[in-house]
Structure 1
Amino acid sequence: MKFLFNRQAPVKRKKPKKFEFIHSLNLKKYFTLLIVLFFSFSTTAQKTYKENEYLRKAKAIKYIDSKKAIYYYKKSIEKYKIEKDTFNLIHSISELADLYGHSVDYGNSYDLYWKALLLADQSKDDFSKATIYHALGWLYSFYQRDDEALKYFTLSHKLKEKLVAANEMDNGYIVSDYFALVNFYRVNGNYKMAKIYLDSCYISKQKTKNKANNGYIEAEAGFLAATDKKFDAAISKLLEAKNYFEKNDKSYLIIINSLLGNVYKMKGDYTQSEIYLEKSLALSKIYKSHANYKLMDHTALATVYSKSNKYKLAYFHANEAMTLNNKIFGRKSKNNQHLFEINDKYRIQKQKEKELLKEQHIKELESEENIWFLKSTIMIIVILFLIIYGHQLFKNIRRKHLAEKELLAKKQELELIKNSEILELKNKELTSSALQLIEKEEFIEKLKKSITENKENIDSTSINNMLKTIQGSSASNWKEFEARFTAVNQSFYKNLKEKYPDLGQTDLKICALVKLNFSSKDMSSLLGISFESVHTSRYRLRKKFKLDRNENLADFIASL
């Protein structure tokens, strides 16, 4: 719940002369109710704010250690600046402004709300603008700028009605506007209007998603009942509200006890009034929120103790009230430096922008009649020139592309023919070389056979040693062939492995020899395997390539 300070309208009574100085203070200013953003950020709407670690820490301690909470809020603001998340940046700035308001540092609160409003206006964020207008209405009211306060309450209400109609905001935000007007008119002593808007609160609340009992509205209803001298009903409602805040927001008990104290004062029961007002002051020391109630409670206690003839206590509280008043509203206070003469930065900036736009528009209208014909003529000439130029340029580009395409096609055709011829020649050389190796192996085998048959007349050992020196193994023969084959057909193995990764080394060898149109006999000689093994390998290859019976293995491998 955002900070909610109820303002208590003064009750005129005759005072002993000893305390006449109390009347010299601006009582209306004392009892200004700080109800900034009631419901504004507490109800559920279509737009949702993001959380970060700094926001969570700040919210957890803002009523306990405001200085540390301010530090965390500033860290959150820096984080959203870096992330360029304007919506959540505005929310963090508004949260910090709210915290300053709790501490009655209205100057910093005011400046931050204007900063947030400028960002919301630039980003066209009506959701944030509506809630900030609401807060600014209260800040203006604190210094009796009632016209401006009503203006911003009205702006907030109109914008929220528009957002609710567009289903971009929950109706609970409308309730918060009526609630603000209840307090505004009550502070000004216009209880009739305050009661009218209280009825509007109840009617509008029926349209919200959450129809549960609301302690804030009931507390206002209780105080207004006291203005009709219905003291028992007033106290009953305020005690109900007290129970509500015992469970939901203990810091708000500062306000509830203060209201009870004032109702008992109006009733003339000064003993009970003293008890509740002192409770409110005691709670102010625990919770660092609703700080303006210290001023209100001291002022009320000065009156109550005076009525009870406890002049020493009355003097003490009157002096405390005066000290706080000077601190918050005195000439040298930060609040007066910022707010006593409020400069409407946003309004002035927007007005200047409008005036500049208006002047610019007038100048354009004055010159438009004189230069319209010239501009039209120049435009027609430029368009005609561009059409002609574009047509010629397109023709030239098309002609150039066609010529380049034809030339490139011829070059590619010649290159393919040349490469094909070279490849064919090299493969022929490779085949010839392989056949020579096969012939050499066959010759050696025949020679061995001949030696074996005539070994009685020949030194077989010496000749076998000589044959070993010139005979190569099938493995060395294949390595020599494969090295030359790879040099000629560089991408052959690469394509095979990419398309058929499960091919083994023997499969690759058979594929290479099939590509060069080797016979099964030559393959067996070159690879050093049997004729039947070659046939088996070819059969397995067909299965791996998934070839039909009518498909030729050599043609298929040649196409790879």
Structure 2
Amino acid sequence: MIVGEKHYICIVMNINRLSKSVIIKTYYDMKFKICLFLLSISFLFSCNQEHLSTYNFDEKIIFIENDPHLYLSKIDTTGFPQIRNGKEATDFILSALTLNYVNNDCYPSKEQLQKSIRIFKTEKLVQQQLEAQYLLAGVYRKEKDLTNEVHVIEEAIYLANQEDDKEWLFYLYSYLGDMYINQFNMFQFVKYLTLANQCIKDVPLADMSISTKIQLAKNLLYTGNYNESYEILEELEYNVGKNNTYYNDIKRLLGVVLYKMNQLDSSIEKLNDALATEKSMSHLFTCHSILTYCYYTKNDLVKAEQHKILAKECDTDDEIRLSEIEFYTLCAEFAKTNHNLEEQIHCLDKVKEGYTSVLNYNSGQSLDEAIQSYTRIHEKRMFNKQIATYRYILTGFLLIVCIWLIVYIRIRKKQVYKILALQRQIDSLENLRNIKDEVKGFIMRDFEIAKKIAVLRNTQKVQSAKFLKDLEKHNIIEGNDLLTMNWEQFYKDIDLSFDGFYSKLAKAYPTLNEKELQLCCMLMSGFKTDEIAAIWMNSVFSVHKYKTNVRKKINAQEGANIIAFLSEKLPLQ
């Protein structure tokens, strides 16, 4: 029995070691999963922060548009000596936009704009980058650097396409359309105007920003849709306050639309409202030139002359635009009507200068050439980008293969761990079965010894006395459960050796008393009637009597083999 206990202890230790290894492996698996979860949360948080950053920037833009002077009073515009991160670059752009809204001719430093754009690209601040690129295009326009102006607008279009920002695409294509109409290139103007309108065809008017609505009204004005343009501008005039940066634009465009609709008095009223706070020289020229047309048409020559002089004073830009050619053409006609030959010649010279400027734009460089130049650069860049894309795809493929190999190795390791664990369990069960067989052998040996001693003690008492004393000296009798009447341990041995026979018997036949249970267990272990009588120290007749009682209680036939009957009734293996 001591040998069996040692084997049990070994099994328990092996199982504990196996459980410990499984727990450690589970711990590291859980740790790996927790790390992945934390990385996912971190990524989602960073995405949310980026969304909040864009949302806050858009909110500030709306606030500035509603009252740029109020925002200007709250910020320091003395300068931005250092632009080191996205926040400082954003503050700089907001300040520059505010100053530009207050005065359309005011633009920030080109170098600071370029640095801000680089930061926005790095930090993926798309709206800030688009605003900065639009300002930079204005700087290049002011410097008459057509190539870089087109380059910046095309870059902004590419970015807006990536983001699928319909309103920005509309605004940028309209910008290119304005550039072409100033060169009298109506074909390209219509092309870009069509592209612009395609961008917002599915965007409801109510969802558009104020600036987009104004640009849409301007495009409708260009194409002769005066009534539609007027409806949009009239709604804006009603909803937009006087402090809004677009207030003057709305009034000025309303004046132009009403002039085109031949509503001269209303046009004069709107244009005078716009003149009250207008600072941009180009916009002042537009207002005074349209007022000149209105008053000449009304035959108010005094006021017409006043506004004509004011319009000429506002014509400080060397570049001749379409509006200026139209103005000087009309002035030449009025001079001819008034028989002012000198004025007529001066105006016609201006018209000639304008057309010459259109034909020889910027020392022979046309807008088409600038766009073609950019297109070549862009195509080369796209080719390099495709090469880079293929490189990234290849790198990504190799990375996926590496990840797949790592995952495959992890899965294989898990499978190997499972196989090893199962093998250990099988080995443990094999050991347990071997130990169980050994224990059964020890128990059966004890039973045989008990039989022999019991018979010897009851049949040859005198002759075996000395022999029994020798057995007692070696603790053989004392260690035998049957001889010492240790029935509880005997029942455990029976359960172990015969598939839980005692427990199943007691449960199936609760009417059996202690002696009857002992009888069944001894019969199961192979004891004969006389051997049982010797163990009990009773007569053989008493044992037969107990057998009869057992048969009755288990409903077996008279003279039936008790063990054979019970083996059929009880679920023994």
TM-score by shorter chain over 0.5: no
TM-score, structure 1 normalization: 0.45
Higher relative contact order (CA 8 A, sep 6+): 1
The higher radius of gyration belongs to: 2
